Amino acid sequence: MLAGYVLAQAMFVAVFGRIADVRGLRLVLLVGAALVGTGSLVAALSGSFATHLGGRLLQGSGGGAVWVAAFGTVAALTGTDRARALALISACLVVFSGAGSLIGGLTTDALSWRAVVALPLLCLLALGPSARLAPDTAQRQL
């Protein structure tokens, strides 16, 4: 499952990077959020290995889009705003990378594995403020 997620994420960073160049970061962020949300629901509600894997692949592809949108938005900022945004992303990466296994284990014990797979839905809470920051036009045309 993890390998499928990471493979989809890595592949779709390139795809969504190109889409961001042509159509803008806001679209990439919104599509990525939709993929993460849909993938989370499919994986959490799955009744078979194949369905669960499909959900995780959707999550991973959406995760690739979210990374493109996040770092593209940071690159579009200037001065202290850029530094602040990069610091926030870095802090989130450190906390969730370091505590992810603990959070997942505690959530599994308290609720179920399905709740762990659905946790990425929480990132949708930041969609509104993030979408306002993401440029809605292409930065450059290739």
Residue 114 DSSP class = H
CB 25 within 8 A of CB 76: yes
pLDDT at residue 121, rounded to an integer? 87
Return the HEC string of 101-135. HHHHHHHHHHCCHHHHHHHHHHHHHHHHHHHHHCC
Six token digits for residue 7: 């493979």
With tokens 């994986």, the residue in question is 43
Residue 55 in this model has a pLDDT that exceeds 90 = yes
Q: Both tokens of residue 60?
A: 């991973």
Alpha-carbon gap, residue 76 to 42, rounded angstroms: 33
142 falls in which pLDDT band (50, 70, 90)? very low
- pLDDT, tens only, 100-127: 888 889 999 999 999 998 888 888 888 8
The pLDDT, as a whole number, for residue 139 is: 58
Residue 138 has what pLDDT?
Answer: 67
pLDDT at 140: 55
Neighbours of 65 (CB within 10 A): 28
